[in-house]
Structure 1
Amino acid sequence: MKKKYKVAFLFLDEIHHLYHFITVATELAKEQEVHVLTHPQVNSLLYSSLQSLEAGEKVKVEELKTSAFRAITDKLKGRDLPRKGFWLKKNMKYLLQFDALVFTDYFHHYLLKSRQNSTPKLIKFPHGAPGRAYIFNKNQLDFDFQLLSGKFQFEEYQKRNLLGNHPAVVGYPKADFLKNRTSKDIFSNNKPTVLYNPHFDPALSSWKKTGLDVLEFFYQNKEYNVIFAPHLHLFQKKKGGEDSSTIPEKFFKSENIHIDLGSEASVDMSYVSNADIYLGDVSSQVFEFIINPRPCIFLNPYDFAYEDDIAFRFWQAGQVIQSANELEQALRKATTQFDRFKPVQERMNEENFYSEDNSTATQRAARAITEFLDKEIS
């Protein structure tokens, strides 16, 4: 390390972004000056996560305000998060004082226009496992440094000319935060538990066409437990656009159905570790589930031609069905036919998440950032 760097992680997103960077922030804070720049309505999960990590107290959290006018309009429109462009413009002068700014999403464009001599350096973290085609974003090339989770992501970026001059394959830091956590059992029985995790995208999600039928199946079939934990955007007006009031009250009251539409547990892999079988559609959360290989079932109510489409790569990891009418048979096959899919899941794990015996993804990411800054900042 040539000098002590001033690095900021920008957290203007919802809680499902947090675990992708928080361990790296604390690891980096052992040697660097590290800030998390956020907003006054930030979820308390940020603070409790820092408190639970070694060196968390060294990370300086700053709740920076947007402009007064924008704060008023955000409140009137019921926004929990500030609009990022306005927040960036309000705080631009301060942001430009850092050596590096770390993003888990794409709201960096104002900084590209405002910075001088390519400083601060812009660093891009993924905010999930390498799943659908959304990860192949041309904005990747705007960043000075890319942190990637594994071989699959690196090779696909290379094929698509999305690798910048400084990519680094480090692994999946989120798994470091959560690997030693214990989650309490949701159901006090020994029945197999299914995690139903539909995505929020209206054009792809199984929820609109067959979601209520799925819940009805489990309501009628008490030999299974089900955790209904969709992507937290599914029931948000400006994202998935679904209305939670359409879910009948009987499902909330059923002893074998647990419904979580967006709590901390829905993003911290609690349900992934609690379930025996994954039921989903196009959410990349399945890649977290198969870190410990287990049966998977995928819903394809739109009859997508998926076999040779890289956007549906995860559907190689289990059975693909079209509707809840096929669930009973698919669940009965889930365990007996799992030997077919286990080698596929193990291969995907190896491709998705780089690992080394003597270091964690968190340590490798922090080291890679420092080494990059040593080379690029004189």
Structure 2
Amino acid sequence: MKSGSSIDPQRIGFLFNHDELHQVAHTAPIISALQRQAPSARVEVITSSDRQAEAVRQFLDPALPMPAFWSIRPNRWSRLAEKMMGQMVPLNRLSSLKRSTELFRHFDALVVPETTTTFLKKNSKSERPKLIFFPHGAGDRSIGFSPEIRLFDYVLLPGEKTRDRMLDAGVIHPDNHRIVGYPKFEAFAARPPVKMFDDDKPVVLYNPHFDPLLSSWFRFGEQILDYFAGQNDFNLIFAPHVMLFQRKLLASVEHRMLRFRQQIDPRFAALDHIHIDTGSSRSVDMTYTGAADIYLGDVSSQIYEFIQKPRPAIFLNSHGAEWQGNANYEHWTFGPVIDDLSGLGATLDAVSPLSDAYRQAQSRAFAYSFDMDDRQSPAKRAATAIAEFMEIPQ
């Protein structure tokens, strides 16, 4: 698959082209690993904001040369157009890709954590650059197995579950992928848990998604905050998917739905036993999944990061899903599912300690979703796979 010449070193770019930072930790740990594994390659970084660049730098090994950084900021016209359209279409990302086509042609491969980059394949017949994909998360939603994945030249995967579902969906084939584990776990493994509250009451993490159909926030959100505001048995961390509060109008291309997102009543933030975070770095670095005793959510892939250590979980069916036996809701087998909030208090009281049945379900699903190898780190496994795919000497 080698696309560079025998004289010039191959250029491998790690591209980060999203509005927020939640995708960075999935591929940034591979950068330094690839520098070590394939020293003849030119490993470089491409970002679309200063925040992204700073976030990426936090994952780099200071003992290695700093990679070159390139910026592909969206222009003001695309920002204005996206704002006027209610931010329903990712015009900033698409504009950045289109305007940077000439830059990308100088790379032999781009490593990316999202599918918008397939725009480059849809709009060019060039073999350069190769696109290498690592999905940002190991969740169950159908969007994680979308047809766009067929356009990638190579796919790196966290475990057998994602591989099997992608093969079943026909978006990968047997010889264009490799299971490498989950670099995000490696990135934060050495960090101690953070104590969020002064007392020792159980901590509940409410982690709704942003999808306007699947998210429990639109139907249940304020009622949940109101419930926790009026009780004294639990502390609450409200840390939704970072995209939920980045836009006032939420759009789902997958489900063809638009919904306006309501604001949070300021009175909740004033309470000592409620911590609200609508988008800081702690929302994406597993601080909250590590600090919580009970998970409360809907379809976010963060549930799979939470069950690295099996614990009680409760799921909110706010959209009348017929979820039993549906692979898109496999994580709803990790704990009780409630269809309305009348039973929330009783469910919270009953869910701890974690039952053997739910513990086994979580442990099985975690092992199926993440290939954990004590002999090699996920970042090194990914770097080896990239070097072998691109035929770079190691």
TM-score, with normalisation over the residues of structure 2?
0.87
Q: What is the deviation of 1:268? A: 0.6
1:10 aligned counterpart, secondary structure: strand
Q: How does 1:299-378 map to 2 (within 5 A)?
A: 299-374=316-391
Residue in 1 that maps onto 2:219: 209
User: CA 1:312–1:56 in 2, change beyond 3 Å: closer, same or farther?
Assistant: farther
In structure 2, which of residues 188, 204, 211 is the aligned counterpart of residue 194 of structure 1?
204
In 2, the alpha carbon distance for the partners of 1:120 and 1:107 equals 15
Aligned AA (1:12) = N
Q: How does 1:136-151 map to 2 (within 5 A)?
A: 136-151=145-160
Q: Does 1:253 align with 2:281?
A: no
Residues 26 and 54, structure 1, Cα contact 8 Å, conserved in 2: no
Deviations 1:129-154 (A, max 9, x none): 13211111111111110011111111
User: Larger % of helix: which?
Assistant: 1
User: CA 1:365–1:238 in 2, change beyond 3 Å: closer, same or farther?
Assistant: farther
Q: Does 1:270 align with 2:276?
A: no
Q: Does 1:46 align with 2:55?
A: yes
Query: Gapped runs of 5+ residues in structure 2?
Result: 252-258
Q: Does 1:15 align with 2:21?
A: yes
Q: What is the deviation of 1:78? A: 9.8
Q: Structure 1 stretch 58-67 or stretch 147-156: which is displaced more?
A: 58-67
Residue in 2 that maps onto 1:62: 70
Residue in 1 that maps onto 2:234: 224
Residues 8 and 34, structure 1, Cα contact 8 Å, conserved in 2: yes
2:139 aligned counterpart, secondary structure: coil
Q: What is the deviation of 1:104? A: 1.2
Deviations 1:134-185 (A, max 9, x none): 1111111111100111111111112221213411011111111011123431
Residues 78 and 95, structure 2, Cα contact 8 Å, conserved in 1: yes
In 1, the alpha carbon distance for the partners of 2:77 and 2:333 equals 50
In 2, the alpha carbon distance for the partners of 1:147 and 1:56 equals 24
Q: What is the deviation of 1:57? A: 4.7
In structure 1, which of residues 145, 151, 154 is the aligned counterpart of residue 163 of structure 2?
154
The number of residue pairs the alignment matches comes to: 372
1:374 aligned counterpart, secondary structure: coil
User: CA 1:374–1:281 in 2, change beyond 3 Å: closer, same or farther?
Assistant: same
Residues 159 and 180, structure 2, Cα contact 8 Å, conserved in 1: yes
Residues 39 and 82, structure 1, Cα contact 8 Å, conserved in 2: no
Aligned AA (2:112) = F
In structure 1, which of residues 10, 29, 37 is the aligned counterpart of residue 35 of structure 2?
29
User: CA 1:238–1:216 in 2, change beyond 3 Å: closer, same or farther?
Assistant: closer
In 2, the alpha carbon distance for the partners of 1:264 and 1:337 equals 29
Residue in 2 that maps onto 1:130: 139
Q: Does 1:173 align with 2:183?
A: yes
In 1, the alpha carbon distance for the partners of 2:321 and 2:74 equals 43
User: CA 1:110–1:43 in 2, change beyond 3 Å: closer, same or farther?
Assistant: closer
In 2, the alpha carbon distance for the partners of 1:150 and 1:350 equals 8
Q: What is the deviation of 1:212? A: 1.3
Residues 238 and 275, structure 2, Cα contact 8 Å, conserved in 1: yes
Q: What is the deviation of 1:96? A: 0.5
Query: Gapped runs of 5+ residues in structure 1?
Result: none
Q: What is the deviation of 1:56? A: 6.3
Residues 299 and 322, structure 1, Cα contact 8 Å, conserved in 2: yes
User: CA 1:365–1:6 in 2, change beyond 3 Å: closer, same or farther?
Assistant: same
In 1, the alpha carbon distance for the partners of 2:62 and 2:351 equals 40
Q: What is the deviation of 1:303? A: 2.8
Residue in 1 that maps onto 2:254: none
Q: Structure 1 stretch 160-169 or stretch 53-62: which is displaced more?
A: 53-62
Residue in 1 that maps onto 2:95: 86
In 1, the alpha carbon distance for the partners of 2:299 and 2:78 equals 35
2:300 aligned counterpart, secondary structure: coil
In structure 2, which of residues 219, 233, 248 is the aligned counterpart of residue 237 of structure 1?
248
In 2, the alpha carbon distance for the partners of 1:231 and 1:282 equals 10
In 1, the alpha carbon distance for the partners of 2:336 and 2:364 equals 17
In 2, the alpha carbon distance for the partners of 1:69 and 1:369 equals 36
Deviations 1:92-127 (A, max 9, x none): 1121011101121122344224353x2221111101
Deviations 1:241-286 (A, max 9, x none): 55453x2222111111000011110111000000001000111110
Q: Structure 1 stretch 62-71 or stretch 289-298: which is displaced more?
A: 62-71
Residue in 2 that maps onto 1:6: 11
User: CA 1:146–1:41 in 2, change beyond 3 Å: closer, same or farther?
Assistant: same
In 2, the alpha carbon distance for the partners of 1:226 and 1:178 equals 23
Aligned AA (1:354) = D
Residue in 2 that maps onto 1:294: 311
In 2, the alpha carbon distance for the partners of 1:256 and 1:26 equals 40
Deviations 1:317-365 (A, max 9, x none): 1111122221111111111452220011010011000121211111100
User: CA 1:160–1:76 in 2, change beyond 3 Å: closer, same or farther?
Assistant: closer
1:108 aligned counterpart, secondary structure: helix
CA RMSD of aligned residues (A): 2.5
Residues 294 and 338, structure 1, Cα contact 8 Å, conserved in 2: no
2:58 aligned counterpart, secondary structure: helix
2:100 aligned counterpart, secondary structure: helix
Aligned AA (1:191) = K
User: CA 1:33–1:309 in 2, change beyond 3 Å: closer, same or farther?
Assistant: same
Q: Does 1:281 align with 2:281?
A: no
Residues 9 and 42, structure 2, Cα contact 8 Å, conserved in 1: yes
Residues 298 and 320, structure 1, Cα contact 8 Å, conserved in 2: yes
